């Protein structure tokens, strides 16, 4: 299963088999890292990381991961680069392709902008493009989420598993919709019954959700939406309460935060955790807004797997880089030799 050169902009762009392959490699890389064994699969290779927004876990997972794979990740702040002066994705894709071996982008602030920007870069790049979070999806986070669920419950087959992805209150800012949308795009493909609980005003992007429902039907899972947080939690084996903004109010912080404040009671606390299944786990992409999205008792409690989940960001990031940037042979963790490397000049890539 050759994934060299393939973009990773949405999990929906990859087959279930390709996603499973990435998870298998992540598991192997995690064991290798834990054992302290070197795994320099991408020696002397360069990843360019363009950030339009802030990051902790994503940036550090990819920077540390690239170092451990033997390469180097360049951090590019869009606001202090020529992107801020109007340099186009067309030019960026061509130029950075000649300097290195992969491009990764975070562009999640404005609905309708990030995903098209990434796909425009990818159209003109001769190296793979990885989505570090856009307005539509956060695929590297969701791969870590699925890896965590598999490790906790012992199976990648989520058939019959009820997963509640719930809106939760946050007073800080209108957060992107990409995490709940990314979960909707991915988990039902592996059989999960995903319930999205949200106040009426916080609907997700219709085009993305339409795609998610198609993928759910193909994968044998289900995707439903309700407006009751308690009902969403009831009987769920996984709860993932996370704030996101109302699409029609992005850019209008005052009205967005005023709307948020109407739903202060949407918090994940011990009472709601008791509504979930006895073996339920609490998940969050972090940073969690403590005291608003979730109480300390839950996020630091025995049902929380948030730090396990955050740890898996490193291993899934490394798997995606190794597979798409040509460092994984498919026969164990052995670097590719010169004889096995494909020519880079104008090589035709799989999209």
Total-model pTM = 0.93
Domain range for 49? 11-137+313-340
Question: What's the pLDDT score for residue 281?
Answer: 98
What is the tens place of the pLDDT at every residue in 140-178? 999 999 999 999 999 999 999 999 999 999 998 889 999
Question: What's the pLDDT score for residue 334?
Answer: 55
Cα–Cα distances in angstroms (integers) from residue 125 to residues 33, 100, 130, in the given order? 31, 11, 12
When divided into structural domains, the chain yields a total of 2
Instruction: Looking at the structure, tell me whether residues 60 and 113 fall in a common domain.
Output: yes
Q: How far is CA 76 from the centre of its chain?
A: 20
Tens-digit pLDDT profile for the chain (351 aa)? 789 999 999 999 999 999 999 999 999 999 999 999 999 999 999 999 999 999 999 999 999 999 999 999 999 999 999 999 999 999 999 999 999 999 999 999 899 999 999 999 999 999 999 999 999 999 999 999 999 999 999 999 999 999 999 999 999 888 999 999 999 999 999 999 999 999 999 999 999 999 999 999 999 999 999 999 999 999 999 999 999 999 999 989 899 999 999 999 999 999 999 999 999 999 999 999 999 999 999 999 999 999 999 999 999 999 999 999 998 866 666 544 433 333 333 333 444
345 is a domain residue: no
5 is a domain residue: no
Which element (helix H / strand E) includes 107?
Answer: strand 102-107
Instruction: Looking at the structure, tell me whether residues 274 and 332 fall in a common domain.
Output: no
Instruction: Looking at the structure, tell me whether residues 40 and 20 fall in a common domain.
Output: yes
149 is a domain residue: yes
Which element (helix H / strand E) includes 296?
Answer: helix 296-299
Instruction: Looking at the structure, tell me whether residues 94 and 167 fall in a common domain.
Output: no
Question: What's the pLDDT score for residue 174?
Answer: 86
- Pairwise CA distance, residues 252 & 265, whole Å: 23
DSSP of 32-81: HHHTT----SSTT-EEEEEESS--SHHHHHHHHHHHHTT-EEEEEEGGGS
Instruction: Looking at the structure, tell me whether residues 233 and 322 fall in a common domain.
Output: no
63 is a domain residue: yes
263 is a domain residue: yes
Instruction: Looking at the structure, tell me whether residues 299 and 322 fall in a common domain.
Output: no
Question: What's the pLDDT score for residue 332?
Answer: 61
**Under 8 Å CB-to-CB from 95, ≥6 apart: which residues?**
none
Instruction: Looking at the structure, tell me whether residues 243 and 146 fall in a common domain.
Output: yes
Question: What's the pLDDT score for residue 2?
Answer: 87
Instruction: Looking at the structure, tell me whether residues 336 and 295 fall in a common domain.
Output: no
- Both tokens assigned to 21: 């392959």
Instruction: Looking at the structure, tell me whether residues 336 and 237 fall in a common domain.
Output: no
SS3 295: coil
Q: Report the 10 Å Cβ neighbour count for 20.
A: 16
CATH code assigned at 130: 3.40.50.1370
Instruction: Looking at the structure, tell me whether residues 130 and 230 fall in a common domain.
Output: no
Instruction: Looking at the structure, tell me whether residues 159 and 221 fall in a common domain.
Output: yes
Q: DSSP assignment, residue 261?
A: H
């Amino acid at each position: 299963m050759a994934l060299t050169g393939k973009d990773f902009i949405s999990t929906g762009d990859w087959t279930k088999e390709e996603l499973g392959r990435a998870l298998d490699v992540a598991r192997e890389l995690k064991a290798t890292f834990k054992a302290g064994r070197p795994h320099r699969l991408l020696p002397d290779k360069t990843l360019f990381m363009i950030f339009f927004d802030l990051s902790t876990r994503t940036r550090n997972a990819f920077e540390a991961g690239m170092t451990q794979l033997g390469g180097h990740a360049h951090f590019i702040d869009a606001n202090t680069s020529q992107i801020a002066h109007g340099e186009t994705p067309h030019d960026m894709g061509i130029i950075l392709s000649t300097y290195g071996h992969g491009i990764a982008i975070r562009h999640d602030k404005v609905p309708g902008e990030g995903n098209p920007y990434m796909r425009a870069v990818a159209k003109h790049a001769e190296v793979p493009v990885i989505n570090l979070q856009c307005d539509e999806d956060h695929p590297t986070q969701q791969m870590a989420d699925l890896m965590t669920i598999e490790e906790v419950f012992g199976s990648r087959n989520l058939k019959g598993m009820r997963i509640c992805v719930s809106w939760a209150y946050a007073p800080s800012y209108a957060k992107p919709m990409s995490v709940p949308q990314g979960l909707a795009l991915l988990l039902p493909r592996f059989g999960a019954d995903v319930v999205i609980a949200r106040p009426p005003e916080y609907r997700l992007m219709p085009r993305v959700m339409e795609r998610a429902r198609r993928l759910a039907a193909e994968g044998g899972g289900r995707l439903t939406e309700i407006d009751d947080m308690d009902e969403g939690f009831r009987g769920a084996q996984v709860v993932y309460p996370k704030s996101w903004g109302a699409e029609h109010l992005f850019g209008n912080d005052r009205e967005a935060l005023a709307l948020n404040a109407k739903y202060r009671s949407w918090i994940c606390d011990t009472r709601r955790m008791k509504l979930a299944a006895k073996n339920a786990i609490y998940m969050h992409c972090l940073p969690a807004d403590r005291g608003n999205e979730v109480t300390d008792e839950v996020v630091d409690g025995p049902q929380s797997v948030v730090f396990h989940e955050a740890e898996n960001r490193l291993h899934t990031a490394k798997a995606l880089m190794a597979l798409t940037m040509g460092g994984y042979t498919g026969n164990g963790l052995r670097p590719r030799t010169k004889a096995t490397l494909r020519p880079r000049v104008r090589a035709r890539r799989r999209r």
